[in-house]
Amino acid sequence: MSKKARKKATEPQPELKPLATPEPAQYNFFFLPQDIDAQPADERDLHDLMKLWRHGRATKSIWQAISDGYVALFSLVVLGAMVGNVIYEAQGSQAGCESTACLTAKTLLPTATTFACWGLSLAVSGLFGPILASAAEGSWLMAAPVSRRILLRGRLIAPVVLAGVISFAVTCLVGGLSGLSWALAAVAGGGAGVGAAALMALAGAVQSTERTRLIRTVQAACSFAAVAVLALVVCVAAGWLSVPLPEPAQLGIAQVAAMVVGAVGLVAAMGVALRRLDDIRSARLLSGGSLVAGMQGAMFALDFGLVRDILVERNAVKKGYVRSTQGRGLGVMALIWRDFERLFRSPKQFIPLLVSLFVPYAADALGAGQLNPFLSGMALMIAIIPFMGSLRVLSRTGGLARSFPFATTALRTALMAVPTALALVWAAAATPAFVGISSAGVERPVPLAVMASLAVALAGMLAGVRWVTAKKVDFNAPMMATESGAVPPTLIFNIFRGFDVVAVVTAPLILNWGPSWSLGLAALVFVLVRGTFNMDDMKAQSEQLKREQEEAKARTAQPKKRRAPVRTGR
């Protein structure tokens, strides 16, 4: 006990008195209807008030923010000009190309992109709403006796406009890069944009009915059409199919027709959606809002793994229940068996894997054979990540991994078994693309093509492993000084996780050094990603060793105590 505390304890304690009973508080206002003459709130005023509060909290004007961020703005302008120039040059060189591959790409790739944009717009609308409200709005405004139509009108218009603009830009870009004239590319983009906006408005119109079958059917049809057109591009370019292709101008007319139909659909769907805004349940609005909030948080930390985790968790909650099955095997075999069983539990995840198989064929057929290993590796990485759910869960927090009686290397190796098997099947199926299916691509002898395909498959798989085992950004670690302030290094490196593996492993193939180098690099990456050199463990072991050495040093440094002379009393 400290001196102060001891002193306090010895001081005479004041005599305790019973607490006086407090006077009952007088409340004159209970928010009963008769207490006030309540007037219906004006939604527009509420909205303006919220806007005023938000603006009131701002400490900088937009121009001040821009002038503060002049370096970022300058970089953006320079980069934009560079990218624009590259796109312009690429369009110019592609426009003059008259080979079958180029003609197929010009005619069909914008169409495939259009369908893909439509499918993606509907997928996003299903995920978020498309109309949503934040938790705060749910608490303060949705419960109030106000018309939601005015409050939510902006929430409908925003996703419709966004879907339209993004679809327009992407399709226009793909059209231009495929070799279409910019005018025709703009027409193609316009068709895609108006169509996507109309579909988004349709999703908004059916949101209140909570019947998702129509939207899901249209989404599946659009996705299927996109894949089918992409397959057609590959088949025609490779010379496996001979289809009379329409002239780009004819395609332009079709796109204009799509634009007109889309515009009519957009007006009709918007009308219905606006009328039904009042009928959407609060829970439905808030669900999208909470998802956006969670994803925003993850995006601020550039934690894409967390973004995916949120989506996976949301799907699991939506599913809720599964028919449980008995496991098989003991030890690590039990883990491998569960991973194998998962393949059949979610067969939908095979679709991206199958689509990724088109990439090596499309790249070869369309004359991008030199970049084929990198593009295919990237596509496989994205497609194989859904098969690494267990690895992700056992990497993100230590709790569950601690429950399994295996070393981290053994655990990771076991969880890589099923994705590796899938990658090997993918490699076998993609081998013809690396042999060379068209005159436009790179030709290789069969043994080298088998090795190249295997190297690309391993690159994609290992990149997936690196991506899912990413650790959270450590804001306690030493920061890097940048123009934007202090930034944790992991924040930057997390953006490139996975991509770096694909780039390193496929670099020898792109540089024509031969696939043996790529396979060697893949083996090296495997040793690293399975956690052979676990930095945390090594750090802990070295710290422990250091502590023991210091303690031993301290013991030896202590002066030997002299034995006190024995007093005999003599």
Binding residues (CB under 8 A) for another protein: these are 2, 312-313, 315-317, 319-332, 334-335, 338, 342, 345-346, 389-390, 393, 396-408, 410, 534, 536-537, 540-541, 543-544, 547, 551
Which of 483/537 has CB closer to another protein?
A: 537
Q: What is the distance of C-alpha 281 from the center of its chain? A: 28
Q: Shortest gap between Cβ of 8 and another protein (angstroms)?
A: 15
Which of 89/313 has CB closer to another protein?
A: 313
Q: Shortest gap between Cβ of 533 and another protein (angstroms)?
A: 12
Residues 6+ apart with CB under 8 A from 456: 360, 373, 376, 377, 380, 427, 430, 434, 505, 506, 509, 518
Q: Shortest gap between Cβ of 243 and another protein (angstroms)?
A: 41
Q: Shortest gap between Cβ of 408 and another protein (angstroms)?
A: 5
* Cβ burial, residue 128 (10 Å; 0-12/13-18/19+): middle
Answer whether 442's CB lies under 8 Å from 369's CB: yes
State residue 297 phi and psi, 5-degree precision: -60, -45
- What is the rounded CA–CA span in Å between residue 398 and residue 405? 13
Which of 77/552 has CB closer to another protein?
A: 552
Which of 211/328 has CB closer to another protein?
A: 328
Which of 89/537 has CB closer to another protein?
A: 537
Answer whether 378's CB lies under 8 Å from 499's CB: yes
Answer whether 114's CB lies under 8 Å from 171's CB: yes
Q: Shortest gap between Cβ of 475 and another protein (angstroms)?
A: 14
Which of 67/315 has CB closer to another protein?
A: 315
Q: 459, 334, 310, 470: which is closest to 392 by C-alpha?
A: 470
Q: Shortest gap between Cβ of 399 and another protein (angstroms)?
A: 4
Residue 130: is the preceding peptide bond cis (ω within 30°)? yes
Q: Could you write out the DSSP letters of every residue in 430-446?
A: HHHHHH-SSTTS----H
- Alpha helices of 179-242 — where are they, by DSSP H? 182-207, 213-238
Residues 6+ apart with CB under 8 A from 171: 110, 113, 114, 117, 185, 188, 189, 191, 192, 193
Which of 348/570 has CB closer to another protein?
A: 348
